[in-house]
Amino acid sequence: MIIECPGSKIFKQPQPDNIACPYCHDDVEIWTDEFEVKCPGCKRTVSRNDSKSCLDWCKEARRCVGDKVYDDYMRSKKNRRVGDVL
């Protein structure tokens, strides 16, 4: 049995958040389960600049949040490393 991690709540019960676009400084709405969005002002891709989450280290992360969320997170993380997005 998996005991639910408090860190997984942002993926299972997403909430809206606003961040400033690093390009045009418009407010961009991004949900806690989203990793990148298009800025409504300049249409460029904006990503979160978050620190690591439980998905980075927990051996049960994939089972906890599901394959799609886990794979999307890892893909977004890889894109940020490569420099495709901020």
Tokens of 6: 């408090």
Query: In degrees rounded to 5, what are phi and psi of residue 28?
Result: -125, 125
- For residue 11, what pLDDT band results from cuts at 50, 70 and 90? confident
User: Are 31 and 17 contacting, i.e. CB atoms less than 8 angstroms apart?
Assistant: yes
Around Cβ 61, how many Cβ atoms within 10 Å? 21
Q: pLDDT tens digits, residue range 72-82?
A: 888 877 766 54
Query: What integer pLDDT is reported at residue 26 of this predicted model?
Result: 95
Tell me: the pLDDT tens digits for 15-57? 899 999 999 999 999 988 787 899 999 999 988 766 578 888 8
Contact predicate 21/41, CB 8 Å:
yes
